[in-house]
Structure 1
Amino acid sequence: MFLRAAIVILTCLNLGAVAWWVAGSQPNRTLPPPPEAPQLRLVAELKPAAVAKPAAADGVCLRFGPFAGPAARTGAAESLAAIGVQATPFEDRSGAASGWDVFLPAQADHAAAVALVDKLKTAGVADVFVMNDGRNANRIALGRFSSEAGARRRVDELRAQGVAPVIEARGNGSKRIWLDARLPASIGQARVAAIAPSQALDCSHLQ
């Protein structure tokens, strides 16, 4: 009886040892993470974010002239209008500027100038009056400014009201007349040269 019990115990111990050896020889298995778990990635696997490309410049700004006279400037303005470009007449002096005036050209006579001023006031245009001095008699004054930027803002305001004024720089020296315009970037140099001589202009002047 004692011998049989000992045999049974030894057999059980051997079976346990075999089971332990078999279990230990199996490779460890790692359960995959659930689908919603965030995945770790090596730094080398991360692609750099695409760098946004700067927007293409919105056209090119030029100052055409100086023109020999108003007729030549009008012809250039018509050429620009034919390609969908609205130009701003600009006048200055060959010397340093002491200020800037915004105005409409002189009318045929005083009565016509007064009638135009009344029309502008009815349309909501403020700070407008007829000039009576000799050289600028019957000109429609729309503002006098100490900076060109202030004059440009006044021009933008008036254009929004349907008025197309002129900017003139006050100062000493001979008078020069120009046209300022923003043109499409796609326009060719030959086409620009055919309109009139021009020089680069800071686009901030046309804001």
Structure 2
Amino acid sequence: MRALIVLLAVLNLGVTAWWLFRPDAAPVATVDDAPSGIARLQLVSERPDLQPPANAAPPPPAVAVDTAATIATPAERCYSIGPFSDPAAMAAAQGALRPAALRLRTRTVQRDSGRGWRVFLPAAPDRATADAAAARLRAAGFTDLLIVADGAEANSVALGRFSTEARARQHAQTLVAAGFQARAESLGEARNSGWIDVAAKADFDAAAARRSSGVAEARSIDCATIR
């Protein structure tokens, strides 16, 4: 027991001596003690040269972009203005429209007389030739025909009357395909009408142009048709 007490006393003395005479701890490296050649990281707030001047103006506020306003508008719009039955009136309207036009053209179209259309074979030199043509037509299945006996159209072969140009021309084309020299023609005096096709900027007032020209229509058309 005495020996144990002596051992404990010696241990306590050893621990006390180590505590009193231990070497100082190695200093902990700081950022300033970093190896040479390696830049130290710095916050922007630690760099005086990067701070804005005290009297610097604040950044401008963000501007909202209106996407609807940025959509491009058509560069041009195109119209067909008419019909003109008087060439002088058409020429006057053309002169009035030209300053506002990017491109402009005039054209003449044949209007239906209102009496319909007919399909026929032109007059033959004599009745025998007309009869032979009629026989060939019947053999080909075209039985709705009439040989004109007298007048300016004598010895021609009438092949039907139609209310519209489209139907008359379709029938004439069928006859031509079968080998006959058929024609489609408007009944009565043919009437021509003039139109002015104009390509203008998007703000062009087509209604006002129509009124000043004294015509009935100002139709929107494809600009690609005006060269």
Q: Which has the larger Rg?
A: 2
When the two structures are superposed, what TM-score results if normalisation uses the length of structure 2?
A: 0.33
When the two structures are superposed, what TM-score results if normalisation uses the length of structure 1?
A: 0.35
